[in-house]
Amino acid sequence: MAAPMREEGRLGDVNLQEAPVPTQPVIETQRFVLRPLRPSDAGLIAHYTSDRRVAEGTRAIPHPLPPGASESFVARALSANRTEDVWAIDGSANRLAELLGVVSLTRMEGEQSELGFWVGAGFWNTGFATEAVEALVAANPHGARTLFAEAFQDNPGSARVLTNCGFVYLGDAESWSVARNARVPTWTYLRKMD
């Protein structure tokens, strides 16, 4: 599951002072905070997503990661006209890494949002992804009535995160994976919000 990383310009191409940037809440969990990305996150994002296993678990992260891709991703996350809100999973207050991964919400029509996430491979099987998704769902910063998510069928760990967070299996589909350069079977999930 991934917060998309598409190539669309570089950090220097975006003037962050042109328009007020919509605010994203900081969301606290027991072991970390979810906070908006900042330009200094680009290095760790590039480090983690250069791992083929991380990239192949997502739809939009290429492998190998092109120069400037993580800076472009951060710039889009800070843009005033973004449709996706991205939070860093920041464990620095608890002596963990400043960036463990990311979790995102992309606005869709009709009070719906799509959830995406990834964590660095060194943090797999720690419960960080589940804790981040639970916190984002509980906060529901988009005020969504329905959340959607998907996991590649060869990534049962991401599927477990979703089911552990109250998402219900909706059906099978396929999504393009940039890193794999192929369509990959997915499981689609839905979470109705109260």
Euclidean distance between CA atoms 165 and 7, whole angstroms: 31
Ranges of the chain whose pLDDT falls below 70: 1-22
Q: Given CA atoms 63, 174, 121, 148 in this order, what sign does their dihedral have?
A: positive
**Local structure of 27: helix, strand or coil:** strand
Q: Residue 8 has what pLDDT?
A: 39
Name the phi and psi angles at 128, rounded to 5: -65, -45
Q: Residue 34 has what pLDDT?
A: 98
In one letter, which amino acid is 29?
T
> Given its phi and psi angles, is residue 45 left (phi above 0), alpha (psi -120 to 50 degrees) or beta?
alpha
Q: Residue 21 has what pLDDT?
A: 57
Q: Residue 194 has what pLDDT?
A: 78
Measuring CA to CA, how many Å separate 130 from each of 116, 136, 165?
Answer: 12, 10, 7
Residue 155 DSSP code: -
pTM (predicted TM-score): 0.88
